[in-house]
Amino acid sequence: MDTSTHVLVIILSVFLALFLLLSIIIATQVVRLLKAVNRVARKAEHIVDSAETVSAMFKDVAGPLAILKVIHNIAQTVQGHKKGKD
């Protein structure tokens, strides 16, 4: 092999080594990024589940509270009517 072939092989080897090094660094950063995205997704899912639980609780409580509000309004009306007679 002559000198130009040796130089070409050395240059290609250096570029291949740099490419492999950069690929490993980029792959590790992508894995870190995916783990962070996964954590954020789990937190968002937990928040959505909590919101669903709270909305279900308000839905369950809304019926009895509406009945109590109607009874309260009736009681106030009756009390107001009694005060008007006095």
The answer to whether residue 86 scores a pLDDT higher than 60 is no
Q: Environment class of residue 1 by beta-carbon count within 10 Å: exposed (0-12), middle (13-18) or buried (19+)? A: exposed
Q: pTM for the complete prediction?
A: 0.54
The whole-number pLDDT of residue 79 equals 80
What are the residue boundaries of the structural domains of the chain, listed by start?
A: 1-86
Q: 3-58: per-residue pLDDT in tens?
A: 999 999 999 999 999 999 999 999 999 999 999 999 999 999 988 888 888 777 77
Total residue length of the chain: 86
**What token pair was written down for 29?**
């950063």
